[in-house]
Chain A
């Protein structure tokens, strides 16, 4: 694999061109309806070979609508987003993501004349519907949502701290021409910013960047530590500084290459019914009273491309977008305390379930690793179940994980049921919402002083097997 190949895209358009060059962009030129066609196509594409990105430019009732969906929604697309060959194996993509993370932080580069500065509307002239062709995804959704935008905010008690400036993807319900609902889960960074603003009875300035280069979106989807900058991760992922620009109204840092930038405030101490919305859990969120955004300025390219994603029953684009990022972040945080950790597979429902392989220094060690996963920043809202396996078990090889579970686990001593811990409100099994027991399944081989079971006579691959794999592969390819 060409691990050194790197290609940095400065905007969504450059990446769409690269997807197209690799046969991973499907343009639909015949007229479609906004509903149900756009969401149904994006729902369907995960069942189509290669699961390409979709591009629509002929939507009923619109004049100039351009809509990109499923941009990150396959392993080939995810590989191309990282500048890797499209046939890169999943585990290799995760490892490459982790390797580039080691170059973090890569400071961004500030550029002038962003293309989104071409058109501007302010105050009551702002009309989101004139600029973004929003559409419904699932039947029970309460309306139309922006679900792939990078939302930028700063810590109001430390506004000069670039690292504490957060760039995250939070769903936004379009409630009017310049009014949005916002979902900040309490464990997410923007909720910390909002809480600090609300404690001072202030509004929280925010910028919302729609249609971005793929590295910004990957970084925004990565659960980073509170004081780590997503722009500095984007730079590490793309192998060169991420281009940013100053948003004119709020002074927030936004991607230079965005299609559309909205600016305004989260109105302090206000909550209003939002949702339901079909979520990544494969269930609707329910309706909750959530914060409200007032948009005071919109800046946009002429004929912008509206980038969105379909989500619902996994796997959807969202799982590709957040899967590897979640694995790597959890791996980095665990590795800092426990160098024995080998790999983390947290690709299932954003890490509500995680599989960790680790060496075990002494009896009880694997359970400690499982508990630490639950106390990482991401684990506080996820990691409801953690399966810990031996270092020799590849957590991405699910048949091997099932083997470990089926043979190593004795419920008498290998299950740790922790009561009443925090989990994200969207977990449909939490009761009350946001509270759940959490479970560690220790599927490692017990080591002293935890002497249990009869594991000393394990069957291993024959020493000659490796040679035979190569011989058989050569015969199959017709090379003796």
Chain B
């Protein structure tokens, strides 16, 4: 499994369902995309994830700071 949004392969388990074995909340270590394993495929699989929301490392690097950190 890779991140649906950025295709990164390191995924962490952020939480599990209070009722055991129903779902997990996962989070990508690179882009921070988070999802519940029971969500529709369009949110949980790389193949079905909409292109318009996909991210690359270059996109992450180019993201602007809001608000800008004040100068030293």
A and B: interacting chains: yes
- Asked if A288 and B38 make an inter-chain contact with CB atoms under 8 angstroms apart, the answer reads no
Q: Which residue on A lies nearest to B5, using beta carbons?
A: A142
Contacts of A289 in B (CB 8 A): 63-66
- Asked if B18 and A63 make an inter-chain contact with CB atoms under 8 angstroms apart, the answer reads yes
- The listed residue with most B CB atoms (<10 A of its CB), out of A33, A136, A273, is A273
- Asked if B33 and A35 make an inter-chain contact with CB atoms under 8 angstroms apart, the answer reads no
Task: Tell me which of B34, B64, B65, B66 contacts A143 (CB under 8 A).
Answer: B34
The tally of residues in A whose CB lies under 8 Å from a CB in B reads: 47
* Assembly CA distance A301 to B36 (angstroms): 25
Q: Does A177 contact B (CB under 8 A)?
A: yes
- Asked if B42 and A139 make an inter-chain contact with CB atoms under 8 angstroms apart, the answer reads yes
Task: Tell me which of B25, B43, B68 contacts A139 (CB under 8 A).
Answer: B43
Q: Which of A55-79 contact B (CB under 8 A)?
A: 60-64
- Asked if B35 and A61 make an inter-chain contact with CB atoms under 8 angstroms apart, the answer reads no
Label chain A's interface by main secondary structure.
loop
- Asked if B38 and A143 make an inter-chain contact with CB atoms under 8 angstroms apart, the answer reads no
- Asked if A177 and B14 make an inter-chain contact with CB atoms under 8 angstroms apart, the answer reads yes
Contacts of A143 in B (CB 8 A): 27, 32-35
- Asked if A140 and B67 make an inter-chain contact with CB atoms under 8 angstroms apart, the answer reads no
* Assembly CA distance A433 to B64 (angstroms): 10
- Asked if B14 and A136 make an inter-chain contact with CB atoms under 8 angstroms apart, the answer reads no
Q: Does A362 contact B (CB under 8 A)?
A: no
Q: Which residue on A lies nearest to B69, using beta carbons?
A: A269
Which stretch from A110-118, A154-162, A194-202, A218-226 is at the chain B interface? A194-202
Q: Which of B1-44 contact A (CB under 8 A)?
A: 5, 14-15, 17-19, 22-23, 25, 27, 31-36, 38-40, 42-43
- Asked if B14 and A60 make an inter-chain contact with CB atoms under 8 angstroms apart, the answer reads no
- Asked if A271 and B35 make an inter-chain contact with CB atoms under 8 angstroms apart, the answer reads no
Task: Tell me which of B18, B23, B53, B59 contacts A140 (CB under 8 A).
Answer: B53
- Asked if B17 and A175 make an inter-chain contact with CB atoms under 8 angstroms apart, the answer reads no
Q: Does A255 contact B (CB under 8 A)?
A: no
Contacts of A177 in B (CB 8 A): 14-15
Q: Does A395 contact B (CB under 8 A)?
A: no
- Asked if A175 and B70 make an inter-chain contact with CB atoms under 8 angstroms apart, the answer reads no
The tally of residues in B whose CB lies under 8 Å from a CB in A reads: 35
- Asked if A35 and B27 make an inter-chain contact with CB atoms under 8 angstroms apart, the answer reads no
- Asked if A136 and B15 make an inter-chain contact with CB atoms under 8 angstroms apart, the answer reads no
- Asked if A195 and B35 make an inter-chain contact with CB atoms under 8 angstroms apart, the answer reads no
**Given the contacts A140-B53, A142-B5, A273-B63, A35 and B39 also touching, CB distance less than 8 Å:** yes
What is the distance, in angstroms, from B59's C-beta to the closest C-beta of chain A? Answer: 7
What is the distance, in angstroms, from A404's C-beta to the closest C-beta of chain B? Answer: 37
Q: Which residue on B lies nearest to A143, using beta carbons?
A: B34
Contacts of B38 in A (CB 8 A): 33-35, 60-61
**Given the contacts A36-B39, A139-B43, A143-B34, A61 and B67 also touching, CB distance less than 8 Å:** no
* Assembly CA distance A191 to B69 (angstroms): 11
Q: Does A129 contact B (CB under 8 A)?
A: yes
- Asked if A139 and B67 make an inter-chain contact with CB atoms under 8 angstroms apart, the answer reads no
* Assembly CA distance A60 to B18 (angstroms): 10
Contacts of A425 in B (CB 8 A): 66
Contacts of B59 in A (CB 8 A): 287
* Assembly CA distance A287 to B54 (angstroms): 11
* Assembly CA distance A274 to B63 (angstroms): 9
- Asked if A63 and B19 make an inter-chain contact with CB atoms under 8 angstroms apart, the answer reads yes
Contacts of A62 in B (CB 8 A): 17-19
Residues of B bordering A, CB below 8 Å: 5, 14-15, 17-19, 22-23, 25, 27, 31-36, 38-40, 42-43, 50, 52-53, 55, 59-60, 63-70
10 residue pairs from A and B, CB less than 8 Å apart: A61-B22, A61-B38, A142-B31, A143-B27, A143-B35, A144-B34, A175-B27, A199-B70, A271-B65, A273-B31
Q: A34-B23, A191-B67, A287-B63 are in contact. List 6 more A-B contacts (CB 8 A).
A: A36-B39, A63-B18, A127-B15, A185-B67, A195-B67, A288-B63
